[in-house]
Chain A
Amino acid sequence: MANMADVLLDLRNVRAGYGDSVVLDDLSLEVKEGESLAVLGRNGMGKSTLFLTIMGFTRLTGGSVSWRGEDITRLASHRRARLGLGWVAQEREIFPSLSVEENLIVMARPGPWNLKSAFELFPRLAERRRAMGNQLSGGEQQMLAIARSLMINPSLLLLDEPLEGLAPIIVEELAASIGRMATEHGTTIVLIEQHADVALSLTRKAVVLERGAIVHRAASEDLLADSKTLDRYLGLKLEVI
């Protein structure tokens, strides 16, 4: 039996979407403290919508969301962030009129993550600290988006396709950083990723989304070896890594 106190985030029978359109239907998901979870699925299956729903940015019409056993279904987004939910948006959404350093400290909260540790994780950001948000390369923006969310010292980090559109060398570097966040810092991570192989090697558990519902749950290790399931839901044959 799982200890209730260990459950950070609990979605039960959630139905949510935009305006009148329902994207997630009857979705249930549990994330425990210290866990790392990969969310896989083809484009348009509702992965980003899942994160937006957790953050309170979609229209929720059924089910409930709780945080450490407390109902947050109707809680304002900024309060969820203050409770410890960190969100890295798919589009990065760096503040263009803030410098790199300002992006990092504008909403920072006390904890192990501070400017120093963020710059240690991403030395490139230290070099660019005075640059404005709109002067960064794609890779730099991605690092900044992750570091900015870490600066609020979240208990749970939602990462939406952090490796998308980056050069292979940066993908490696970022993947290693994400791995370190999970293992060394014990940050609980939920990772949406198109590169299923990378996502599965960085996480312990995985779920597959299809048309707004979870259609498969597995240990990442097992799913990585299960090319039949991967092929069925993601339509990709994994090369041997």
Chain B
Amino acid sequence: MLGSMAGILFDGFAYGMLLFLLSVGLSVTLGMMNFINLSHASFGMLGGYVTVTLMQQLGWPFLATLPAAFVISALVGMVMERFMFRRMYRATDLDQTLLTIGVVFMSIAGAAYIWGTVQQPVVMPDYLSGSFLVGGVNIARYRLFLIVVALVITLLMIGGLEWTRFGAQIRAAVDNQRMARGLGLDVDRTFSLTFSLGSGLAGLGGALAIAMVGLDPGFAFAYLIYVLIVVSVGGLASIWGSFVAASLLGICDMAGKYYVPQLGSFLIYLMMVGILMWRPVGLFGKR
């Protein structure tokens, strides 16, 4: 019993780390520009397909595809921000929602057209397959790998945001855009870079997700829901908030499916409603 609980905690945390990578970019850009980008999970899906294509078509090793998934998603994010989203910053919430939901549909149709609607099979390298036992808890190597990658990225991001001048500029732009501009900050460029980084991280999350949750064109929608839960529960523009919210969500989801399967995914929505009733701005949100 205790062993299975520890196992669920571990698996749930690993799953949470996946959700964290997929959503942290949206939390920062939504807090910064108030831009409702529902297509964020589509960048995750793109990263997944980059990895699948490079492995299947070009025979790249899995690890080598991860930076590529990051870079390509980041570049596509940057281009879409520059030529499409940037025009919509002053638009109403409804217009932003409609535009980006349109992008989601297009990304789903595009993925289905190029890669088909089937689940994409990927074969993980040996050193990331299988599992071992630690104190009666079954530790899947791949999930451990996921956790390590996510923790490293979390540290890099928190460090970058807290200790670099660029990080301070992002925080300044989130706090008060007009004043940041008035002091000479090119907020558009800062946002473009941040948006691009966030899209890249989502792409990396998508690439890492395949081995755990699979990949098909439904990904962009299925994970949009999770991403939005993480952002609203964690609070806007808070990396730490996203981290905690994603961990909670991953663990609740796993525990729910294991202990009360008849409730299905319902438990996570209960959790979300409960937390948002207690703290409407999210766990670590300021507004």
Across-interface contacts of B172 in A (CB, < 8 A): 95, 98, 106-107
**B residues 132-174 touching A (CB-CB < 8 Å):** 165, 168-169, 171-172, 174
Q: How far is the CA of A77 from the CA of B183 in the complex (A)?
A: 9
Known: A105-B165, A106-B168, A106-B169. A98 touches B175 (CB 8 A): yes
Is B182 part of the binding interface, using a Cβ–Cβ cutoff of 8 Å?
yes
The dominant DSSP class at the B interface is helix
Known: A102-B168, A106-B169. A81 touches B182 (CB 8 A): yes
Q: Which of A76, A78, A93, A152 has the most CB of B within 10 A?
A: A78
- Does A78 contact B187, Cβ atoms closer than 8 Å? yes
Among B169, B174, B175, which residue has its beta carbon within 8 angstroms of that of A107? B169
Number of interface residues of B (CB under 8 A): 19
Q: How far is the CA of A78 from the CA of B171 in the complex (A)?
A: 17
Q: How far is the CA of A96 from the CA of B286 in the complex (A)?
A: 11
**A residues 120-174 touching B (CB-CB < 8 Å):** 133, 148-149, 152
Among A77, A106, A109, A133, which residue has its beta carbon within 8 angstroms of that of B181? A77
Q: How far is the CA of A78 from the CA of B169 in the complex (A)?
A: 13
- Does A78 contact B186, Cβ atoms closer than 8 Å? yes
Q: How far is the CA of A204 from the CA of B165 in the complex (A)?
A: 38
Q: How far is the CA of A82 from the CA of B183 in the complex (A)?
A: 8
Across-interface contacts of B180 in A (CB, < 8 A): 95, 107
Is A89 part of the binding interface, using a Cβ–Cβ cutoff of 8 Å?
yes
- Does B181 contact A78, Cβ atoms closer than 8 Å? yes
Is B184 part of the binding interface, using a Cβ–Cβ cutoff of 8 Å?
yes
Is B76 part of the binding interface, using a Cβ–Cβ cutoff of 8 Å?
no
- Does B179 contact A89, Cβ atoms closer than 8 Å? yes
Among B176, B181, B187, which residue has its beta carbon within 8 angstroms of that of A95? B176
Q: How far is the CA of A149 from the CA of B184 in the complex (A)?
A: 10
Across-interface contacts of B186 in A (CB, < 8 A): 76, 78
- Does A93 contact B184, Cβ atoms closer than 8 Å? no
Q: How large is the interface on A (under 10, 10 to 19, 20 to 34, 35 or more residues)?
A: 20 to 34
Across-interface contacts of B178 in A (CB, < 8 A): 57, 77, 93
Give the nearest-CB partner of A99 in chain B: B168
Is A230 part of the binding interface, using a Cβ–Cβ cutoff of 8 Å?
no
Q: How far is the CA of A57 from the CA of B187 in the complex (A)?
A: 14
Is B185 part of the binding interface, using a Cβ–Cβ cutoff of 8 Å?
yes
Known: A105-B165, A106-B168. A78 touches B184 (CB 8 A): yes
B7 to chain A minimum Cβ distance, whole angstroms, is 38
Is A97 part of the binding interface, using a Cβ–Cβ cutoff of 8 Å?
yes
Is A118 part of the binding interface, using a Cβ–Cβ cutoff of 8 Å?
no
Among A77, A97, A106, which residue has its beta carbon within 8 angstroms of that of B182? A77
Known: A57-B178, A106-B165. A81 touches B171 (CB 8 A): no
Across-interface contacts of B169 in A (CB, < 8 A): 106-107
- Does B187 contact A93, Cβ atoms closer than 8 Å? no
Among B168, B182, B184, which residue has its beta carbon within 8 angstroms of that of A89? B182
Across-interface contacts of B286 in A (CB, < 8 A): 96-97
Q: How far is the CA of A105 from the CA of B165 in the complex (A)?
A: 8
Give the nearest-CB partner of B238 in chain A: A97
Q: How far is the CA of A105 from the CA of B171 in the complex (A)?
A: 13
Across-interface contacts of A107 in B (CB, < 8 A): 169, 172, 180, 183-185
Across-interface contacts of A76 in B (CB, < 8 A): 181, 186
Is A55 part of the binding interface, using a Cβ–Cβ cutoff of 8 Å?
yes
Is A87 part of the binding interface, using a Cβ–Cβ cutoff of 8 Å?
yes
A45 to chain B minimum Cβ distance, whole angstroms, is 22
Q: Which of A57, A87, A89, A95 has the most CB of B within 10 A?
A: A95
Across-interface contacts of B176 in A (CB, < 8 A): 93, 95
Give the nearest-CB partner of B174 in chain A: A97
A95 to chain B minimum Cβ distance, whole angstroms, is 4
Across-interface contacts of A98 in B (CB, < 8 A): 168, 171-172, 175
Q: How far is the CA of A78 from the CA of B172 in the complex (A)?
A: 14
Across-interface contacts of B179 in A (CB, < 8 A): 89, 93, 95
- Does B174 contact A109, Cβ atoms closer than 8 Å? no
Q: How far is the CA of A148 from the CA of B184 in the complex (A)?
A: 12
Give the nearest-CB partner of B176 in chain A: A93
A210 to chain B minimum Cβ distance, whole angstroms, is 26
B71 to chain A minimum Cβ distance, whole angstroms, is 28
Enumerate 15 A-B pairs (CB-CB under 8 Å) in ascending A order. Answer: A57-B178, A76-B181, A78-B182, A78-B184, A81-B183, A95-B172, A96-B175, A98-B175, A102-B168, A106-B169, A106-B172, A106-B185, A107-B172, A107-B180, A109-B184
Beyond the given A77-B182, A97-B171, could you list 5 further A-B residue pairs with CB under 8 A, ordered by the A residue number? Answer: A57-B182, A95-B179, A98-B175, A106-B169, A107-B183
Q: Which residues of A contact B (CB under 8 A)?
A: 55, 57, 76-78, 81-82, 87, 89, 93, 95-98, 102, 105-107, 109, 133, 148-149, 152
Query: What 9 pairs across the A-B complex have the smallest Cβ distances?
Result: A81-B184, A107-B183, A93-B179, A77-B181, A95-B175, A106-B168, A95-B172, A82-B184, A78-B181
